[in-house]
């Protein structure tokens, strides 16, 4: 099954071009899913910080049953902890903790059947 979405949904510069001018930021995801007709979205903010599970549950609740989220991995999990380009390098224990917290964060999406577990690229 092919799903179509974008790499985010809450861009301020989409106001008055993609979204109505008076649409609040809290209404962007439901509008994205219902009015624009997308059935998936990539969540990029998770690269910068691990969200609270309640936030993921709230996002799931704003979308239709067939909607799926592709969640970008937290940078503390996906980058070499010894990479000198990182401002602070996490320890092995911190990386393990990041994985644990990240899995807890996306658990509500999994329970709701809205977590995209795999990504296939068209060739």
CATH for the stretch 5-111: 3.20.20.410
The domains of the chain are located at 5-111
Sheet order of strands, 5-6 included:
5-6, 40-43, 68-71
pLDDT of 46-68, one tens digit each? 988 999 999 999 999 999 999 99
In the chain, alpha helices (H)? 28-34, 53-61, 75-78, 92-111
Q: Answer whether residue 123 shows pLDDT above 50.
A: no
- What global pTM score does this model have? 0.84
């Amino acid at each position: 099954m092919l799903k179509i979405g974008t790499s985010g949904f809450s861009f301020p510069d989409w106001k008055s071009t993609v979204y109505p001018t008076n649409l609040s930021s809290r209404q962007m995801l439901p509008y994205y899913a219902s009015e624009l007709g997308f059935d998936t979205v990539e969540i990029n903010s998770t690269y910068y910080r691990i969200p609270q599970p309640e936030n993921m549950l709230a996002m799931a609740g704003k979308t239709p049953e067939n909607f799926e989220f592709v969640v970008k991995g937290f940078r503390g999990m996906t980058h070499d902890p010894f990479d000198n380009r990182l401002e602070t390098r996490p320890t092995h224990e911190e990386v393990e903790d990041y994985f644990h917290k990240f899995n807890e964060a996306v658990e509500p999406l999994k329970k709701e059947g809205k977590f995209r577990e795999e990504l296939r690229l068209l060739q």
